[in-house]
Chain A
């Protein structure tokens, strides 16, 4: 399996919100990177996880599947999952796959954070 061309940096905003900045290619191969980022984001201690897709360069269907796995994990911990920074192309993919019904999409980091504290 090829090495994923992906990096994920985690920022904490307050005690309960974590933002994961995703840069590169999201495929099934990068599941370990995403799960490490999830743990770094505080695992179950964060009540809301916000994914920043502004640096997303490529995503295949395996990547979407991986996001579903993350969603299940977050739901199990009663955490909310949100996203921002999606281009029109990737927003359409979220809508096509109906992932937008489970992951709230915001236009910007600011609006995601406002939504997060509601």
Chain B
């Protein structure tokens, strides 16, 4: 196990708007009528989706998510890694309390410069959150995550096509004998060859810092600012899956850069379209009045 260096400043990200889709979904704890044979985990898993549908939210660009498929480690390109970040928070905090706090305030614990636009109700199965991630050079990588699973002891996010990695991040808490341990565990492959190079050239280190900072911010909120944090990375599969190299087409980093460059032109086109549609409405209005 490797003890990693201390926290980066963690600032509040935003929890922005409840989408129509999420508003129509079951609230947390709601149990729809089901047969008596429904599995115990039935309410914890998201319903099956083929492609992600999202509503725009203020505060994030919200691109590179709609219409994308979910990707697990099976669909990724690079080596498969399991990364485990653990924080001991003592015996005064119950695991369920730690997870409840984490689920309901998830964006608050993200490191500064990154935005997680989820639902106001917190993390619930089937939610789609939009992300703007700071990748350096003033570029924000726009992508998203899907809430695959959530219960009182853990929750799991799954990534869409174009995300840096294909896989899952599971956040959990358990009583480990001496006290409660909270954990973030990533099971992932880099999504495509570009990301694989990026992960090798500092991406893994950056991700380690990201999750350590997240745990540190959670520890602060739980009242244990100096809680020991450990990180353990293991390569589960050294093979690269070249059959998935074509995933580079969806690369959100490349697309985000292009979207940033094209932003002024896109804005002009949007203004021009708005102007022309307003003119058409003004011209059409007298015709309606004459009837």
Contact = CB atoms under 8 A, between A and B. Distances in A.
Interface residues of A, number: 28
B187 A65 contact: yes
A29 B151 CA distance: 16
A68 B48 contact: no
B72 A61 contact: no
Contacts of A96: 45-49, 70, 148
Contacts of B74: 68, 71, 98-99, 101-102
Contacts of B49: 96
A62 interface: yes
Given A58-B39, A76-B237, A97 B158 contact: yes
B72 A97 contact: yes
Contacts of B38: 89
Contacts of A102: 74
A62 B148 contact: no
B156 A61 contact: yes
Given A62-B170, A65-B187, A99-B74, A72 B237 contact: yes
Interface string B258-289: 00000000000000000000000000000000
A60 B149 contact: yes
**Size class of the B contact interface (CB-based, 8 Å):** 35 or more
Contacts of A101: 74-75
B44 A60 contact: yes
Interface in B32-51: 38-42, 44-49
A76 B80 CA distance: 13
Which of A2, A76, A89 has the most CB atoms of chain B within a 10 A radius of its CB?
Answer: A89
Nearest to B181: A1
B256 interface: no
Interface string A40-53: 00000000000000
A77 interface: no
Nearest to B148: A61
Contact of A57 (B40, B174, B185): B40
A89 B48 CA distance: 10
Nearest to A71: B74
B85 interface: no
A68 B176 contact: no
Interface in B56-110: 69-75, 80, 82
A95 B48 contact: yes
Given A72-B237, A99-B74, A101-B75, A65 B44 contact: no
B41 A58 contact: yes
A80 to B, nearest CB: 14
A72 B46 CA distance: 25
Contacts of A87: 39
B233 to A, nearest CB: 15
A98 B75 CA distance: 8
Contact of B40 (A58, A75, A92): A58
A59 interface: yes
Which of B47, B49, B168 has the most CB atoms of chain A within a 10 A radius of its CB?
Answer: B168
B51 to A, nearest CB: 12
Contacts of B148: 61, 96-97
The 10 A-B pairs of least Cβ separation, nearest first, read: A61-B156, A61-B149, A72-B237, A102-B74, A92-B48, A96-B48, A58-B40, A65-B187, A98-B72, A97-B72
Interface of A: 1-2, 57-62, 64-65, 68-69, 71-72, 75-76, 87, 89-90, 92-93, 95-99, 101-102
30 contacts: A1-B176, A57-B40, A58-B41, A60-B44, A60-B154, A61-B148, A61-B149, A61-B154, A61-B156, A65-B187, A68-B74, A68-B187, A71-B74, A72-B237, A75-B237, A87-B39, A89-B45, A92-B45, A92-B47, A93-B45, A95-B48, A96-B45, A96-B46, A96-B48, A96-B70, A96-B148, A97-B70, A98-B71, A98-B72, A99-B72
